[in-house]
Chain A
C-alpha cells in the first residue's frame, strides 16, 4: 500500500483553494481526477497544469485527486508541488512567471502606517488584499499557519510573491521564530520580498543570523534588491533588548511589538486600557527612535469595533508610534485616517513650511514665523506632516499654489 499524500484545504468555508491527494503508483501513467467548481470553464487548463508540473518533477505514475473550489493557477501549482515534495526529495521548484509589476522595491523610510496580516495558507484572502490600499501586506508563515501546514504554506507564499499583485503595498513576510524561520528564507528571499518580520526577537544575534542567511541566498541567486527587517518584540527579554535589536543592522527599518505574547510572558492579560503594556510600548518607541527607525504598534483584534480602533490609533499616535498592524481590510481606512495629522496639525505645518519656503526664496538663513525662530528639525517634522496629510488625502498636493 502506497502512502496517501495530501495538501491544501477543503471544507465549507474554503474558497479559491484546492485539496490535492496524491498516490504514487507503479504503473498506469498519470491519472487525474478533477472535481472542480469551475471545471466546465477551466477544467482543461487545470489538467494541463497538473500534467506539466508532475512531469517537471519526474513523476510518471500516480493517481491524483484535485478537489478545487476555484483556485487560481498559483494556488493549484503550490498545492501540487507541496504534495509532490512529500514523496520525493528534490531541490527543484516549479516557478510560475514573476509578474513584472511585482518587481518594485521600497524605501527605508516609506510609510508603514498599516500592515495587513494574511494567514499564509489561506489563499482566498490574497487576491484582493492590495486593492484596500494598506501600506504593507504580510504573508504570515508563523502563528496563523498550523504546524502541519508549514511546508505547504511556504510554497504558497513563494508563489504568491511571484503571482499576486499587491498593488504597490510593501511586500512583507512574517517568518517563523529563529532558528526555524531561517529555513523560510529560501522561499522568499529570491522572490522580491521587501521586508521580513522577525517574530519573538530577543537579541541582535538573531538579526545577524537572518542577515547572514539572506546574504548567502542573495549571493547564490545574484539578488541585489534591498530586504528590510522589522523585528517583533514579544517578550520581557525582547523589551529589555529593544535598542540592541533596533540598532543591530542597517536594514532594520522598524521595530514593532506583539502584545498577545508579551502580556502572556509577563504573566498578565491584555486589557482594553492597555496599562500592562504601557511600559513595553514606550520602550519600543524609545528604542526605535534612538536607533533612527520607525516604531510600529501591535494589532487591534476586534474587527467589528471601529470606534474602539479609532481610540487605540489616537493613543498609539500620541505615544509616538508611526503605524500599527491590522487583521481586517476595514481597519486600514481608520488607521490611515487617524494616524494622519489632524487639521490643527496640518494648519500649523503649512505655516511652518510656507515660512521655510519664503525664507529660502529670500535667501535667508533663518526661518521665522511671527516673532518665533523655527529650528530645522521643526521644519523637517512639519514637512513630514504635510507629506502624511497629502498621502491621507487630507491635503491637496498643490496646496501651496492654492494658498
Chain B
C-alpha cells in the first residue's frame, strides 16, 4: 500500500507514482530543482549519411532501427489535433512487433485516439503521461489503465523533459512538410497545421527522433521549425493526418446568446477595469466564448483608437483580421486553429511561432506567460477560494487535458468566463473535484449572472466599486446557482489513484481517483 502525504494545497497524494518518488506541491514558486539539466546522448555526425539522406522506407522500419523495445517512452504531438493518424499507427506497429509496457508521452490526446484503448488493453502501453480526453479519459477513469496517468501543462511537459523526469526514448514528429535531412515545418503541405512548437523539446532531448511526413521536399525545407540536425530518420507516408480535422476551414464565433452575453460582460469588465489600454496584450483561445471576447476587445480598441502590442494565439481568422487591421501588432502563436491562421503564420512576419519553451517553461530564465495583461481561460469547476479544475468533470470523469492552462495562470489578469451552470451542474463548488490551479492565481470568474473578483485583487475590486456591471461575491454566485439547480452530491470514488496532476514545477498538486460505477 502506497504511503500518503498532504501537499501544500491540502490534498492527500501518494509519495510514489508508477514506482517513482514524487514531490508534493509546495506552493507557487516554492519548489526549485537543483543540479544540471538533463542532457541527451552525444551523437556523432559520422554515424549519419554525409549526403543528408535519412529516408527510411517505412515507419515500422524506422521504429525498429530506433531500437523500440519493452518499457520505452514514446512521444507524439497534437499539432494535428483530432485529425492525427500517427499516434495510433505507432502503437499499432508496436503491438504488431509484440513490444510491451511502453509509456506514451503525447503533448495532448484527442477523441481520435480512441484506438489507443486497444493497446492499453493488450499491454503494449503501460500508461500515458499527457492528456486523457474523451473515450481515453473514460477508460482511464474506470481504473482500466495498468499504470497511473500523469497530466502536465504544456510548460510542465518541457520542464519534465529538461529536468530529466521524463526521458524520451523515441520521438515521432508528424510534419506537414520535411526534407530528407529532417528539417520540418507546419506551414506548408496538405496537412499544414501552422507550427510544430510542441515537438521542440522532444527533438532536442529524445534519444531517437523520427520525422514522418506526407509532403517530402528537396533540401532545404524552409522555414525549419524543427532542425534536421536533431533528427535520426525521415519517413514518407501517404497520409499522416485528416486535413479538415487538423484545422477547421473557418472558425465561427458562437451563436449561443448566453455565451455571447458572458463574452460581452467580460469585455466590458476589462474595459471598465482599465485593462484595455494602448499597448496592452491578451490571450484568448478558440473556444466559442473566448473567440467572441477577442472580437469585443477589437470593438473596444477601435472605439478608443488604441492597439494591442501583442496577442497570444491559438490564432484564428478573427485574430488574423485584427493583425491585418493593425489593431494587434504581433501574434505570438502557440497553435493555429484555422486555415487563415496557417496562411498568416506562413506569410506575415508579425505572426510569429512560439513554443512551450518561450511561452511556458518553468526551467527557462523567464517566459512569456507572465507578460500578458489579460488571459481568458476555461474551467469545469471553481471553488469558493477560486481554485479551479480543468481536467475532470463534477461527476469525476477525466475528460480534458491541462494544455497551457496552468502556465497562463501567471498572466497579470486571469479571467475565467464560464456559464454558472451547465445543464443542471453548477460550476462553483465548495471544493473542486480536482485541483489544477491555486486560487491565488485566478482573478476573475465571469458568468452570465454576475462577475466575481478574487478578494486578493483589492485593486480590481476598488476600480469596479461604482460599476453597473453585476459584480458579486463568489459565494453569491454559488448560492444563486444552487437555488436554481439544487446542490449536487459530491462524486463518489474508489480508493485507487488513476492519475496525478502536476503543477508547472513538476510537483504533484492533486490526484484523480477511480470513478465508482
Real binding pair: yes
Interface residues of A (CB under 8 A from B): 15-16, 37-38, 40-45, 69-73, 127-128, 131-132, 165, 328-330
If A16-B423, A70-B425, A71-B424 touch, does A42 touch B257 (CB 8 Å cutoff)? no
B394 touches A41 (CB 8 A): yes
Q: Which of B39-47, B77-85, B482-490 contacts A (4 or more CB under 8 A)?
A: B482-490
19 contacts between A and B (CB under 8 A): A16-B424, A38-B395, A38-B423, A40-B489, A40-B491, A41-B394, A41-B395, A41-B424, A41-B425, A41-B488, A70-B422, A70-B425, A72-B424, A72-B484, A127-B484, A128-B448, A131-B449, A132-B257, A330-B260
Q: Given known contacts A45-B486, A131-B261, A132-B257, is B448 in contact with A38 (CB within 8 Å)? A: no
Majority-rule SS of B interface residues: loop
Chain A proximity of B219: nearest CB distance (Å): 50
How far, in Å, is A307 (CB) from chain B's closest CB?
Answer: 16
Cβ–Cβ contact A42 & B488, under 8 A: yes
- A72:B485 contact, CB within 8 angstroms: yes
Q: Is there contact, CB below 8 Å, between A15 and B423?
A: yes
Q: Given contacts A40-B489, A131-B258, could you give 8 more A-B pairs where the C-beta distance is less than 8 Å?
A: A16-B424, A41-B425, A42-B424, A42-B486, A72-B486, A128-B257, A131-B449, A132-B257
- Given contacts A41-B394, A329-B257, A330-B260, is CB(A69)–CB(B486) below 8 Å? no
Contacts of B260 on A, CB cut-off 8 Å?
330
Specify which chain A residues have a CB less than 8 angstroms from the CB of B489 in the assembled complex: 40-44
The chain B residues found within 8 Å of chain A, CB to CB, are 257-258, 260-261, 394-396, 422-425, 448-449, 484-486, 488-489, 491-492
From A37, which residue of chain B is reached at the shortest CB distance?
B423
Complex A-B, nearest 8 residue pairs according to Cβ-Cβ distance, in ascending order: A70-B423, A41-B488, A329-B257, A70-B424, A40-B395, A38-B424, A128-B258, A131-B448
Complexed CA–CA distance, A69 and B261 (Å) = 24
Q: CB-nearest residue of chain A relative to B447? A: A131
Return chain A residues, CB-CB under 8 Å to B485. 72
Q: What B residues does A71 contact at CB under 8 A?
A: 424
Q: Which of B257, B395, B484 lies in contact with A328, CB distance below 8 A?
A: B257
Chain B residues, CB < 8 A from A45: 486
A132, B488: Cα distance in complex, Å = 26
- Give the Cβ gap from A153 to chain B, nearest Cβ, in Å: 21
Report the minimal beta-carbon distance from B415 to chain A, rounded to whole angstroms.
19
Give the residues in chain B near A40, CB-CB below 8 Å: 395-396, 489, 491-492
Considering the complex, give the chain B residue whose CB is closest to the CB of A332.
B257
Which chain B residues border A69 with CB–CB below 8 Å? 423
Closest-CB distance, A123 to chain B (whole angstroms): 11
B491 touches A41 (CB 8 A): yes
Distance in angstroms between the alpha carbons of A71 and B425 in the assembled complex: 10
Complex alpha-carbon distance, A329 and B258, angstroms: 9
Identify A132's interface contact among B261, B395, B425, CB under 8 A. Answer: B261
The closest CB in chain B to the CB of A331 belongs to B257
Q: How far is the CB of B218 from chain A (nearest CB, A)?
A: 48
Picked from B257, B425, B486, B488, the residue with its CB within 8 Å of the CB of A330 is B257
Say how far B491's CB is from chain A's closest CB, in angstroms.
Answer: 6
Q: Which of A16, A41, A42 has the most CB of B within 10 A?
A: A41
Q: Kindly report which residue of chain B lies nearest to residue A73, judged by CB atoms.
A: B486
In the bound complex, residues from chain A placing their C-beta under 8 Å from that of B257 are 128, 132, 328-330
Measured between alpha carbons, how far is A208 from B425 in the docked complex, in Å?
A: 45
Residues of B within 8 A of A44 (CB): 489
A127→B423 CA distance, assembly (Å): 10
Kindly provide the distance from the CB of B492 to the nearest chain A CB, expressed in whole angstroms. Answer: 8
CB neighbours (8 Å) of B492 from chain A are 40
When distances are taken between beta carbons in the complex, the residues of chain B under 8 Å from A132 are 257, 261
Given contacts A72-B484, A73-B486, A128-B448, whether A38 and B261 have CB atoms under 8 Å apart is no
Point out the residues of chain B lying under 8 angstroms from A72, CB to CB. 424, 484-486
Smallest CB gap from A304: residue in B: B255
Q: Report how far A329 CA is from B260 CA in the complex, Å.
A: 10
The docked-state distance in angstroms from the alpha carbon of A42 to that of B424 is: 9
By a CB distance below 8 angstroms, the chain B residues around A165 are: 484
Q: How far is the CB of A105 from chain B (nearest CB, A)?
A: 22
**Complex formed: what's the CA distance from A69 to B257 in Å?**
20
Closest chain B residue to A70, Cβ basis: B423
B243 to chain A, nearest CB (A): 27
Minimum C-beta distance from B141 to chain A (A): 12
CA distance A329 to B485 in the complex (A): 22
Q: Which of B261, B424, B486, B489 has the most CB of A within 10 A?
A: B424
* Smallest CB separation, B163 vs chain A (Å): 38
Q: Which residues of chain B come closer than 8 Å to A127, judged between CB atoms? A: 484
Chain A residues, CB < 8 A from B491: 40-41
**Which chain B residue has the least Cβ–Cβ distance from A127?**
B484
Bound CA span A16–B258, Å:
15
The residues of A that contact B394 with a CB separation of less than 8 Å are 41
Max chain B C-beta neighbours (<10 A), residue from A15, A40, A328, A330: A40
Distance between Cα atoms of A41 and B424 in the complex (Å): 9
Beta-carbon nearest neighbor of B397 in chain A: A40
Compute how far the CA of A131 lies from the CA of B257 in the bound complex, rounded to whole angstroms.
10
Shortest Cβ distance from A144 into chain B, in angstroms? 17
A38 to B261, CA, bound (A): 25
Q: Which residues of B contact A42 (CB under 8 A)?
A: 424, 486, 488-489
CB distance from B434 to the nearest CB of A (A): 15
Q: Given the complex of chains A and B, what is the CA–CA distance between A15 and B425 in angstroms?
A: 12
A277 to B254, CA, bound (A): 34
Who on chain B is nearest to A164 by CB? B484
B276 nearest CB across to chain A (Å): 20
Distance between B378 CB and nearest chain A CB, rounded to angstroms: 19
- Closest Cβ neighbor of A328 among chain B residues: B257
User: Which residue of the partner chain B has the closest CB to A68?
Assistant: B424
Indicate the member of A43, A328, A330 with the most B CB atoms within 10 Å: A330
A329 cross-chain contacts in B, Cβ below 8 A: 257-258, 261
**For B448, what are the chain A residues with a Cβ–Cβ distance below 8 Å?**
128, 131
Which residues of A are found within 8 Å of B488, using beta-carbon distances?
38, 41-42
Shortest CB-to-CB span from B446 to chain A, Å, is: 13
Task: Specify which chain A residues have a CB less than 8 angstroms from the CB of B484 in the assembled complex.
Answer: 72, 127, 165
A13 to chain B, nearest CB (A): 13
Q: Which residue of B lies closest to A72 (CB)?
A: B424
Distance of A131 Cα from B258 Cα, bound (Å): 8
Q: How far is the CA of A40 from the CA of B257 in the complex (A)?
A: 29
CA distance A145 to B422 in the complex (A): 25
Give the Cβ gap from A14 to chain B, nearest Cβ, in Å.
11
Query: How far is the CB of A257 from the nearest CB of chain B, in Å?
Result: 25
